[in-house]
Amino acid sequence: MTMLGLGPLHTRLPLADDTVIEKLFGTVIDQPVIFPPTRIDHERISRSPARSGGRKTAPQTQANQTDTSGNTTASVASANTTVSPDSSTSAPVTPSDNSTAQQNSSTSASSTDVSDNSTASQSSNTSTVSTPVASGNAAAPAAVMGLDSSHLSHNGLSLGFLPDGGDAGGTRQTMADINSAVGQVSSVYGWYGQAVSGTLFDGAQLTAVIDDVKASGAVFQPAVMPVQGWKGLTSSDNSQAVAIAQVMKKFTDQGIPVWLRFAHEMNYYQTDGTYMGNAADFKVGWAAVAAACKSIAPDVKMWWTPNVASAENYAEYEPDDMSTVHLVGIDFYPKSLQTGKEFLDTMKPFHDKYAVDGRMFAIGETGLGYAGTPAERFSWLSQVTAARSEMKNYVSAAWFNYLKDYDYQIVSLKTPSLTSDLKSFLAAS
User: pLDDT, tens digit, for every residue of 285-313?
Assistant: 999 999 999 999 999 999 999 999 999 99
What residue type is 288 in one-letter code?
Answer: A
Question: Is residue 166 assigned to a domain?
Answer: yes
What amino acid is encoded at 259 in this protein?
A: W
Q: Which of 43, 318, 342, 365 is catalytic?
A: 365
Q: Does residue 139 surpass a pLDDT of 50?
A: no
Q: Tell whether 33 is covered by a domain.
A: no
What does the alpha-carbon distance between residue 122 and residue 377 come to, in Å, rounded to a whole number? 49
- The CATH number that applies at residue 294 is 3.20.20.80
Q: What is the pLDDT of residues 389-417, one digit of tens each?
A: 999 999 999 999 999 999 999 999 999 99
Residue 102 bridge partners (DSSP): 121
Q: Is residue 24, in this structure, part of any structural domain at all?
A: no
Mean pLDDT of the chain: 77
Model pLDDT for residues 151-196, shown as the tens digit of each residue = 999 999 999 999 999 988 899 999 999 999 999 999 999 999 999 9
- Helix count and strand count (H, E) for the chain: 12, 9
297 assigned to some structural domain: yes
Give pLDDT tens digits for 5-34: 333 333 333 333 443 334 334 443 343 333
From residue 295, alpha-carbon distances to 204, 223, 249, 300, 324 in Å are 22, 20, 10, 10, 12
Long-range pairs for 410-413 at CB < 8 Å and ≥24 separation? 410/374, 410/377, 410/378, 410/381, 411/161, 411/173, 411/178, 411/181, 411/182, 412/181, 413/171, 413/173, 413/177, 413/181
Catalytic residue among 265, 318, 376, 390: 265
> Which helix (H) or strand (E) element contains residue 261?
strand 259-262
Please check whether residue 20 lies inside any domain of the structure: no
For residues 45 and 55, give the distance between their C-alpha atoms in angstroms, rounded to a whole number.
8
Query: What angle do the packed helices 279-296 and 239-252 form, to 10 degrees?
Result: 50
The answer to whether residue 248 sits within a structural domain is yes
Q: Per-residue pLDDT tens for 82-129? A: 333 333 333 333 333 333 333 333 333 333 333 333 333 333 333 333
- Cα gap 274→420, rounded to integer Å: 37
Confidence (pLDDT) at 100: 30
Residue 164 lies in a domain: yes
Residue 312 annotated to the active site: no
Strands 301-304, 394-401: pairing is unpaired
pTM of the model: 0.72
Residue count of the chain, please give it: 429
265 in catalytic set: yes
Q: Provide the domain count of the chain.
A: 1
Q: What is the pLDDT of residues 307-342, one digit of tens each?
A: 999 999 999 999 999 999 999 999 999 999 999 999
Q: CA 126 → CA 242, 278, 285, 290, distances in Å?
A: 11, 28, 19, 18
Structural domain that includes position 377: 137-427
Q: Residue 225 falls within a domain, yes or no?
A: yes
